[in-house]
Structure 1
């Protein structure tokens, strides 16, 4: 039961609310990836080390995942409109703090605040869309997904162009007019809605699960810098992660009600789709996190050009998503899952052929193929997950799928960053072990000085970094390859009606 303040119900009001909700979904998503192409400028200004770059993305996503989990409880307890406007206000404050940061730690903390505020925006916006357009649920759900993917896909292009011509702070200022429009529209037109009786929420389960995930995230992010278990901090993070997951597992097995109900895990399709969704997230954002630095630092492309080169991937992703969504429900979704996975694997296999001598074409071609594969996967995966699930469990099932994709992205970014720097060092040692003044002089026209030797070492470092980046695309390829067999264990969806 809920209480709702009466609204005018005018069609114009509903259109304005729908537009504001879709813009909010786009804004929440675009702020995940908008720093991507602008990273060189951000690093230079904030003296951010290379191994801290992943925090720009993972801090935002991890904070968003935590608050997204409690959105339904917050809206029921304090009111949908109140939570929505509070999230917008905090999000705006986080945007301002991003621009005022003078150190990498300040910037990451601002991103955590911004991400935490963004968590409720997408699920509440979707709920509002479905409420004001009751006759067009399928169309509105598709529109919200398209807006989210457009945000992630266009973020690097927008961020690269703005940072190149107006400074990196402008990539956050661009969201301020959107937050103002959304806030004023919802304040004037959206009716309040809250539950008459506050439902209990499993804070212990969410806390222990979050501690386990955040501890694992920090361990992967900080381990290489702190020499792993030679550091007290790494030990603390490892203990926190193990303890968090242990307490969560015991809690799930010994209590009847928790924030992820046991009934969800009795549906085979949902469980398998959750695993596939994790792999999808593992590929979706880490590819962007690898491609832009490769183009900018190794191939010397300007940041705006780097951003533009991500656009074909986004266009292919959204186009394939829309076309696959139009396939009638009677058609078996499993061939689309297999086709999408095959395209992603093939695209990542093409990325293994990248080299310093290539032009822009291989990057665009591989990106388009990967985007098309991911676009096929998303709607087919939704049909797989919810086709056999009890309709009463679908809201929680959707939350589980979203969490798995978000945490897949954060873990994926951490893993590729970790292996990138470890592989760079290993390849550098292998290539440079014979690079000594005496050995180089023996093969040259005469003695070689320290400046020339340093230049040679720079060339070796460049080659090592290139090899390391390509190796990470191989990791992403295998992440998708290993989940392909799961498709054969999916059941066909129940017939409609």
Structure 2
């Protein structure tokens, strides 16, 4: 690849463009978070459909992420990267032109499919522009950029949405995409695998069938009254069949897209499970907090977006500081500390009140960001310190995929329980209102009373979901005890 670069300056420009693409695709995931109310109002989108804005992007990226390297080896790195960038731009344009919820979700799916290819290939391009001695530590930089994109996306979207409407939030990525495309066209040399690469499509397909069917079941179940619907039955059957075929495939074949040798390393397996929980908590918290501020408490989009900044500062700051911790310190202690801080942050969120100002949200968000910033690099160090170096490329893919899967299922689950709990709390609160207690009221007064009860019920339901996220971290916290002491990585 480096043969066609215009010296070190060309390599630096190529790496900058690849990192900019990494930031752009991660920032676009939560970008609509602070302007959900505007999107829902414009597209007549129901509350349960709003959750698809995130789950569609995540699920689509989880489909293409595992096959990105195979596509590059089979069809050429430059060609595949340019095609993914073009699809990402297409998704952006379709999102700005959407007039129905289905059109908007379809645009997000296209964005997600492209994102799943752009992320790993951007990292591969960045690595090849670096000297060999600097590649080992580059993973921390790349992860920090991904996290910065995730936590800064809502603040950017909120500010633009407040002043210019929600559609221009997607236009911001168009000039960035044009710059990235130009740099890749001029500086990136084509590269294919010398031998035609192989890929376990049966294992990948069966696993994807199970995952997507489960995702659809969770997203659509409430709307279709669960198993009273034929569609839900089909999705449940698809989920069971997909995971069954995948399990049989793993147990009966020697070669598949998840190497069985990965599961022989205790540290890697336990760290991957904890990393799944981190993904479950991080994006789910954001998917709950912004609608709570925007729709229930009535904050404007720019304020809602700005309240994600403390989480971002805490997360990225702690992440970068962890890179300066000497190797002699046992990283298991930092894993335990990170888990404890995240649990404490979610416990603080249980104290949210309709009467609070913005400060409790900023404080809890910053503490959660610090916890995750401590946890992620420490967990990565523990996971790969005992893993066979020959398995690290496959392990890296599975490790990062676990976070994506955790985020996908986490957002779907908290959205599902949010709507169920809102209905249950509305019924419980309204049951105490009788004509003998409130007296005769006009229709307008009754409508106002119902709106107030709905807001109270929704707020209680949001707080209940923070409890689920706290429990998720509590469940995986005992796994820290079973981690082996890390050894110096090669």
Does residue 10 of structure 2 align to residue 43 of structure 1?
Answer: no
Q: How many residues align?
A: 489
- TM-fit CA distance, 1:128: 1.2
Picking from 7, 18, 24, the partner of 2:4 is 7
TM, length-normalised to structure 2? 0.98
Picking from 393, 396, 418, the partner of 1:395 is 393
Q: Deviations over 1:191-221 (max 9, x none)?
A: 1111111121001111110110111111111
CA distance in structure 1 between the partners assigned to 2:32 and 2:464 by the alignment: 24
Does residue 461 of structure 2 align to residue 464 of structure 1?
Answer: no
CA distance in structure 1 between the partners assigned to 2:223 and 2:148 by the alignment: 34
Provide the residue aligned with 1:154 in structure 2.
152
Say which SS state the counterpart of residue 201 (structure 1) adopts: coil
CA distance in structure 2 between the partners assigned to 1:481 and 1:325 by the alignment: 26
Provide the residue aligned with 1:495 in structure 2.
488
Provide the residue aligned with 2:427 in structure 1.
429
Q: Deviations over 1:280-336 (max 9, x none)?
A: 000010100000000011111001100001101001000000111221223210111
CA distance in structure 1 between the partners assigned to 2:382 and 2:5 by the alignment: 39
CA distance in structure 2 between the partners assigned to 1:202 and 1:54 by the alignment: 32
CA distance in structure 2 between the partners assigned to 1:368 and 1:151 by the alignment: 16
Provide the residue aligned with 1:23 in structure 2.
20
Contact kept, 8 Å, 1:437 with 1:453, in 2: the verdict is no
Say which SS state the counterpart of residue 32 (structure 2) adopts: coil
Say which SS state the counterpart of residue 3 (structure 2) adopts: coil
Does residue 453 of structure 2 align to residue 453 of structure 1?
Answer: no
Picking from 215, 229, 233, the partner of 2:231 is 233
CA distance in structure 1 between the partners assigned to 2:191 and 2:448 by the alignment: 65
Picking from 33, 52, 56, the partner of 2:53 is 56
CA distance in structure 1 between the partners assigned to 2:137 and 2:394 by the alignment: 21
Provide the residue aligned with 1:219 in structure 2.
217
CA distance in structure 1 between the partners assigned to 2:456 and 2:366 by the alignment: 26
Provide the residue aligned with 1:322 in structure 2.
320
Contact kept, 8 Å, 1:313 with 1:372, in 2: the verdict is yes
CA distance in structure 2 between the partners assigned to 1:17 and 1:280 by the alignment: 31
171-180 or 454-463: which moved more? 454-463
Say which SS state the counterpart of residue 453 (structure 1) adopts: helix
CA distance in structure 2 between the partners assigned to 1:435 and 1:287 by the alignment: 33
Say which SS state the counterpart of residue 192 (structure 2) adopts: strand
Contact kept, 8 Å, 1:14 with 1:132, in 2: the verdict is yes
CA distance in structure 1 between the partners assigned to 2:124 and 2:48 by the alignment: 38
CA distance in structure 1 between the partners assigned to 2:291 and 2:2 by the alignment: 50
Q: 1:267-346 alignment to 2 at 5 Å?
A: 267-346=265-344
Say which SS state the counterpart of residue 195 (structure 1) adopts: coil
Provide the residue aligned with 1:244 in structure 2.
242
Does residue 78 of structure 2 align to residue 81 of structure 1?
Answer: yes
Provide the residue aligned with 2:349 in structure 1.
351
Contact kept, 8 Å, 2:2 with 2:129, in 1: the verdict is no
CA distance in structure 2 between the partners assigned to 1:364 and 1:104 by the alignment: 31
Provide the residue aligned with 1:444 in structure 2.
none
Does residue 478 of structure 2 align to residue 485 of structure 1?
Answer: yes
- TM-fit CA distance, 1:9: 5.2
- TM-fit CA distance, 1:72: 1.1
- TM-fit CA distance, 1:349: 0.4
CA distance in structure 1 between the partners assigned to 2:466 and 2:437 by the alignment: 34
CA distance in structure 2 between the partners assigned to 1:336 and 1:261 by the alignment: 28
CA distance in structure 1 between the partners assigned to 2:128 and 2:228 by the alignment: 54
Q: Deviations over 1:17-40 (max 9, x none)?
A: 111011010001000010100111
Contact kept, 8 Å, 1:5 with 1:192, in 2: the verdict is no
Say which SS state the counterpart of residue 330 (structure 1) adopts: coil
Does residue 117 of structure 2 align to residue 120 of structure 1?
Answer: yes
Say which SS state the counterpart of residue 35 (structure 1) adopts: helix
CA distance in structure 1 between the partners assigned to 2:180 and 2:71 by the alignment: 20
- TM-fit CA distance, 1:8: 4.0
Does residue 377 of structure 2 align to residue 379 of structure 1?
Answer: yes
Contact kept, 8 Å, 1:437 with 1:449, in 2: the verdict is no
CA distance in structure 1 between the partners assigned to 2:305 and 2:2 by the alignment: 45
- TM-fit CA distance, 1:139: 4.3
TM, length-normalised to structure 1? 0.97
Q: Deviations over 1:201-244 (max 9, x none)?
A: 00111111011011111111111111111111111110000000
Contact kept, 8 Å, 2:35 with 2:161, in 1: the verdict is yes
- TM-fit CA distance, 1:496: 4.8
Provide the residue aligned with 1:203 in structure 2.
201
CA distance in structure 2 between the partners assigned to 1:271 and 1:140 by the alignment: 23
CA RMSD, aligned part only?
A: 1.2
Picking from 75, 84, 92, the partner of 2:89 is 92
Gaps of 5+ in 1: 442-446
